[in-house]
Amino acid sequence: KNEVEQSPQNLTAQEGEFITINCSYSVGISALHWLQQHPGGGIVSLFMLSSGKKKHGRLIATINIQEKHSSLHITASHPRDSAVYICAVMEYGNKLVFGAGTILRVKS
């Protein structure tokens, strides 16, 4: 079993839909990252959180440390949101462990 599991693996949505991507992990962590990988391959950091909830524009990330679970929500989705979304956890130490990613396609 991977230490970081994401669901779904693939997601297709219509423009305007509310999207949720889930991340579950099995180890103790000090922080959790959400990353976005564009179709061209570049990776950007969306959020880093260790508790509660963060919001940036149409993106919201939440984490429940007790349940070892995090969600990334996209409100009013748009075709430009099409990308791979990656969850990564910082184990106690200095190492990031990554999920396999969720491929999101938003159709207009």
Partner 1 sequence: NAGVTQTPKFQVLKTGQSMTLQCAQDMNHEYMSWYRQDPGMGLRLIHYSVGAGITDQGEVPNGYNVSRSTTEDFPLRLLSAAPSQTSVYFCASSPGRYNEQFFGPGTRLTVL
Q: What is the binding site for partner 1 (CB under 8 A)?
A: 2, 4, 30-31, 33, 35, 41-45, 48, 50, 86, 88, 90, 94-101
Peptide bond into 8 cis (omega under 30): yes
Q: Would you say 21 or 77 has its CB closer to partner 1?
A: 21
Q: Would you say 46 or 82 has its CB closer to partner 1?
A: 46
Please give the structure tokens belonging to residue 28.
């103790």
| Shortest distance (Å) from residue 33 CB to partner 1 | 7
| Shortest distance (Å) from residue 65 CB to partner 1 | 15
